[in-house]
Amino acid sequence: MSPRLLLNKLNAPRLTLSLLLLLSVSACQQTTPSYKTSIFSFGTVIQVEISDVNQVQAQQVFTAIEDDLKRMHILWHPWQSGPLGRTNSLCGMAGTFSAPTSVIPLIIKAKQLAIQSDHLFNPAIGKLVKLWGFQQDSFDKNTPPDDAKIQALLKANPRMTDITIKGVRFTCNNPAVRIDLGGIAKGYALEKIIANLKQKYQVKNIMISAGGDLKAIGQHGERPWVIGIRDPLATDKHTAIASIRAKSGDSIFTSGSYERYYLANNKRIHHIIDPRTGYPAKGSLSVTVIHPDATTADAAATALFVAGPNQWVELANKMGIKYVLLIDDKNNVHVTQAMLDRVEFIKEPASLFVVRP
């Protein structure tokens, strides 16, 4: 994807699990009703909109989604006593043990994506994430950790390649490994939920959005699902800088420093940790990725955020990610040509860097 082209001032067209079952009918194109619900899970509000079904079918689908989310949240919590929590405790003893089958496929996928991303997506750094205080749903009162503790974890260098899996036999060769699937679990969950809905309920037109990360299938009546890319500097989370018309099967994932953060000395301490430094990644405000596979989109958005404005192109090429939009900390927008062809800017970027293939 080179050379890079700079277009300045472009005038171009961006658990406690609780359920809020807000079943509502929204008018779409006068004729096609759609049903919506909001579910609180994975520390965020999950919004579901389904079209071309009746109210009873919509309710069945919403209940199925809620059940799946509840189950997955328990499975993948890194610090509670569920399957991943137990796997993490056993990892601390560094040895071979039988891991629960319910977490193995996602850990295998996470390991593949960690390797593809040169370990910038590194879910083995659970201890670092916890040290910065992002293991909880609420972290407003956090304070940054001591540098000495960060350096000790960096020295221990936990990586997904410290884990080997043969069937259910799980070997952890580094006692510093704690698996935190926060950077990939939403993607994997959306992929599984949609596959389940297609198979069981023959769902054809649905959009599931988990705090801005989403997967869309089919259409919304006569028109495609339209997705907004949040302005990372706006205080109102509904302010978009651009929109994307989703094609059926698209997974559109954004990693942003605005998602989970606290302030320390007026500086934003956000939740995406650079495994090379042990500190919150610098250089990016947000990264949006489109990919057919939601798990890949989720991991890639996190990895490219860490790579930042100077290294994302190389990593996107390595990971085979075609559609990327990165907003750097100076509010410049960097896009692949393929992504530029898909976005419509609502707000003109300060400057736009386009990467041509």
Look at residues 34, 9, 10 and name the one whose alpha carbon lies nearest to residue 24: 34
Q: Indicate whether 35 belongs to the interface with ligand AMP (CB under 6 A).
A: no
In the list ligand AMP, Mg ion, none, the entry touching 78 (Cβ below 5 to 8 angstroms by class) is none
The contact pattern for ligand AMP, residues 281-320, with x = CB under 6 A and - = no contact, is -----------------x--xx---x--------------
Q: Given candidates 123, 158, 308, 309, which one binds ligand AMP under the rule CB under 6 A?
A: 123
Pairing status of strand 333-336 against strand 44-51: unpaired
110 bridge partner residues = none
CB 205 within 8 A of CB 194: no
Cβ-based burial of 45 (10 A; exposed 0-12, middle 13-18, buried ≥19)? middle
Omega before 3 cis (within 30°)? Answer: yes
Segments in 162-258 forming alpha helices (H): 185-201
List the structure tokens of 320.
Answer: 């085979």
In the list ligand AMP, Mg ion, none, the entry touching 271 (Cβ below 5 to 8 angstroms by class) is ligand AMP
The Cα–Cα gap between 120 and 314 comes to 12
The contact pattern for ligand AMP, residues 125-154, with x = CB under 6 A and - = no contact, is ----x----x--------------------
Specify the stretch interacting with ligand AMP by CB under 6 A; choose among 16-24, 48-56, 99-107, 269-277: 269-277
Look at residues 307, 263, 268 and name the one whose alpha carbon lies nearest to residue 287: 307
| DSSP letter (8 states) at residue 183 | G
List the structure tokens of 156.
Answer: 């221990």
Q: Indicate whether 85 belongs to the interface with ligand AMP (CB under 6 A).
A: no
# of chain residues touching ligand AMP (CB under 6 A): 19
Specify the stretch interacting with ligand AMP by CB under 6 A; choose among 23-31, 115-123, 226-234, 338-346: 115-123
Sheet holding 206-210, edge to edge: 4-8, 351-355, 333-336, 323-328, 284-291, 251-256, 213-217, 206-210, 44-51, 32-41, 18-28
Q: Given candidates 260, 291, 334, 342, which one binds ligand AMP under the rule CB under 6 A?
A: 260
Specify the stretch interacting with ligand AMP by CB under 6 A; choose among 150-158, 202-210, 266-274, 335-343: 266-274
Residue 25 C-beta: closest distance to ligand AMP, Å: 31
In the list Mg ion, ligand AMP, none, the entry touching 275 (Cβ below 5 to 8 angstroms by class) is ligand AMP
Specify the stretch interacting with Mg ion by CB under 5 A; choose among 38-46, 129-137, 147-155, 297-305: 297-305
Residue 296 C-beta: closest distance to ligand AMP, Å: 12
- The residues binding ligand AMP (CB under 6 A) are 121-123, 129, 134, 180, 182-183, 255, 259-260, 271-273, 275, 298, 301-302, 306
